């Protein structure tokens, strides 16, 4: 068995794919129309021009095809891990990528297009210096925008959101490829094309390093499909502009090095993480306390309201809450991304803090409240002077726990365009073609924040009635 496996590993990609009897190819269904997506009428079936391309390709290779769903931003590391054999999902040919994995001939070329609000005066990248421009993270458009250091780049995970934020005035332009721009941007009546050809790019198939023979086979198959007009037919069915298979222009800057500038970006990301986490916690603690008091001492309406809040916010994903706050409510309240991030996390953690404070208040012996009442203290005085100080002491370890957990959950806010530490790490990792160093630095920075925090909380616990303080008194 081991011998067979070793033989398979040594014999290159073609033999492996033949032995499997299938080519496992990956994409992200979130990419949607027209790449790979679920047929709206038959949700069990996948459709899209890349599905048809993959089927034509495996016919030439003499195997079957199997689609593997993978998050778009981590397609390359998953390929390297061996989760699948090929990436066929709008993968753009960039020098950074070429140094890392094998890339086929382009199967489709496109133009990067600049879309703005109708009638906007800023219609070129030069005019957009100092303004906010949206794009997809780690795309060719992203690296083009980075050649303009004065442009503030806003990064998104999906194609719909950049144009929605452009409509809402959160950005001044969106730079994305023509396939996306035509479908998602120009279908909106209040948006228009400002520059139809900022640059050219190409979609290629990504293959594992070491699968050189598979690359040759794929390239030969692509040439044949092009020669017999099958590619053209597929693109025509999907209303894509006619492709030209050509060698991409290699006039891009060389890949980034992991230098001081990258470290500075990391530190900036760490600051964003800190600000978001601490402000969210500063919101969550008083909110949680108010909810806990409402549940324990409120009237029936307050009790029900607080209980419903806790269950609703705890019972739904914080990611969904962030989406609703930032995109869903955008027509009603126009929150900037950072405020939405802080508010979203704060409201969510408030539900958890509510339970922490409620448990801490319930843990106080009932005699404490009776003794306070017997002395004539009002209910509010008893809470403020006697019960809450004791509850705080009990709640402190759980609150520290929540703050450290919040510190890491704050990475979720990248879905609403906030670039914090983890997002910065994934961007840099793609730029410098390595996850090792950015990953280590990212982990180191998180630890450098959370460990002192845990120590500080331990000190505080002692101060609030630990043995050291009592001995001193």
Q: How far is the CB of 366 from another protein (least distance, A)?
A: 9
Report the distance separating Cα 441 and Cα 421, nearest Å. 10
Residue 373 engages another protein in binding (rule: CB under 8 A): yes
Other CB atoms within a 10 A radius of the CB of residue 473 amount to 6
Nearer to another protein, 292 or 441 (CB): 292
Report the distance separating Cα 46 and Cα 320, nearest Å. 25
Quick one: which segment of 153-161, 176-184, 197-205, 377-385 binds another protein (CB under 8 A)?
377-385
Please pick, from the candidates 377, 454, 457, 460, the single residue that binds another protein as defined by CB under 8 A.
377
Give first-to-last CA distance, the chain, whole Å.
72
CA angle 205, 210, 258 (to 5 degrees): 80
Report the distance separating Cα 463 and Cα 466, nearest Å. 6
List, in sequence order, every residue forming a beta bridge with 27; answer none if it has no partner. Answer: 69
Under 8 Å between Cβ of 118 and 100: no
Q: How far is the CB of 297 from another protein (least distance, A)?
A: 9
Please pick, from the candidates 76, 79, 231, 372, the single residue that binds another protein as defined by CB under 8 A.
372
Q: Between β-strands 64-69 and 86-87, what pairing exists: parallel, antiparallel or unpaired?
A: unpaired
Q: Sketch the per residue contact string, 391 through 430, with another protein: x for CB under 8 A, - otherwise.
A: --x-------------------------------------
Q: How far is the CB of 361 from another protein (least distance, A)?
A: 14
Nearer to another protein, 181 or 372 (CB): 372
Residue 443 engages another protein in binding (rule: CB under 8 A): no
Report the distance separating Cα 317 and Cα 412, nearest Å. 11
Under 8 Å between Cβ of 165 and 190: no
Residue 462 engages another protein in binding (rule: CB under 8 A): no
Q: How far is the CB of 274 from another protein (least distance, A)?
A: 31
Q: Binding to another protein (CB under 8 A): which residues in 349-368?
A: 365, 367-368
Q: Binding to another protein (CB under 8 A): which residues in 159-198?
A: none
How is residue 376 written in tokens? 């004539």
User: Which residue's structure tokens are 């421009």?
Assistant: 133
Please pick, from the candidates 147, 375, 440, 443, the single residue that binds another protein as defined by CB under 8 A.
375
Q: How far is the CB of 380 from another protein (least distance, A)?
A: 10
Q: To which H or E segment does residue 106 belong?
A: strand 102-117
Chain residues that interact with another protein, rule: CB under 8 A: 365, 367-368, 370-379, 381, 385-386, 389-390, 393, 464-465, 469-471, 473
């Amino acid at each position: 068995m081991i011998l067979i496996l070793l033989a398979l590993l040594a014999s290159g990609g073609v033999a492996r794919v033949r032995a499997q009897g299938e080519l496992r190819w990956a994409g992200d269904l979130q990419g949607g129309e027209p790449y790979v997506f679920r047929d709206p009428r038959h949700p069990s079936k996948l459709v899209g021009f890349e599905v048809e391309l993959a089927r034509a390709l495996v016919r030439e290779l003499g195997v079957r095809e199997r689609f593997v769903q993978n998050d778009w931003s981590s397609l390359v590391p998953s390929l390297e891990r061996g989760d699948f054999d090929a990436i066929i999902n709008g993968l753009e040919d960039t020098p950074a990528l070429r140094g890392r994995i094998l890339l086929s001939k382009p199967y489709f070329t496109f133009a990067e297009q600049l879309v703005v609000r109708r009638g906007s005066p800023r219609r070129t990248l030069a005019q957009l210096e100092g303004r906010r421009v949206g794009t997809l993270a780690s795309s060719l458009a992203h690296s083009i925008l980075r050649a303009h250091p004065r442009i503030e780049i806003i990064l998104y995970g999906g194609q719909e959101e950049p144009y929605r934020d452009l409509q809402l005035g959160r950005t001044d332009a969106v730079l994305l490829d023509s396939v996306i721009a035509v479908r998602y941007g120009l279908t909106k009546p209040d948006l228009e094309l400002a520059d139809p050809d900022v640059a050219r790019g190409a979609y290629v198939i990504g293959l594992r390093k070491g699968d050189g023979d598979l690359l040759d086979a794929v390239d030969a198959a692509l040439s044949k499909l092009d020669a017999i007009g099958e590619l053209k037919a597929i693109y025509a069915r999907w209303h894509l502009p006619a492709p030209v298979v050509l060698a991409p222009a290699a006039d891009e800057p060389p890949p980034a090095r992991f230098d001081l500038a990258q470290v500075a970006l990391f530190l900036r990301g760490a600051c964003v993480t800190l600000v978001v986490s601490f402000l969210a916690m500063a919101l969550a603690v008083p909110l949680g306390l108010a909810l806990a008091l409402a549940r324990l001492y409120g009237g029936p309406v307050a009790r029900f309201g607080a209980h419903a809040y806790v269950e609703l916010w705890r019972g739904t994903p914080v990611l969904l809450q962030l989406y609703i706050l930032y995109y869903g409510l955008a027509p009603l309240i126009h929150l900037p991304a950072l405020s939405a991030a802080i508010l979203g996390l704060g409201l969510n953690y408030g539900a958890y803090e509510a339970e922490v404070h409620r448990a801490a208040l319930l843990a106080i012996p009932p005699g404490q409240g009776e003794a306070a009442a017997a002395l004539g203290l009002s209910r509010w005085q008893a809470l403020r002077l006697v019960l809450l100080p004791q509850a705080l002491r009990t709640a402190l370890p759980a609150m520290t726990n929540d703050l450290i957990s919040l510190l890491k959950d704050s990475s979720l806010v990248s879905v609403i365009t906030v670039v914090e530490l983890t997002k910065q790490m994934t961007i840099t990792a793609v730029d410098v073609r390595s996850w090792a160093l950015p990953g280590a630095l990212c982990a180191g920075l998180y630890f450098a924040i959370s460990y002192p925090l845990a120590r500080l909380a331990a000190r505080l616990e002692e101060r609030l009635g630990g043995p050291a303080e009592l001995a001193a008194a």
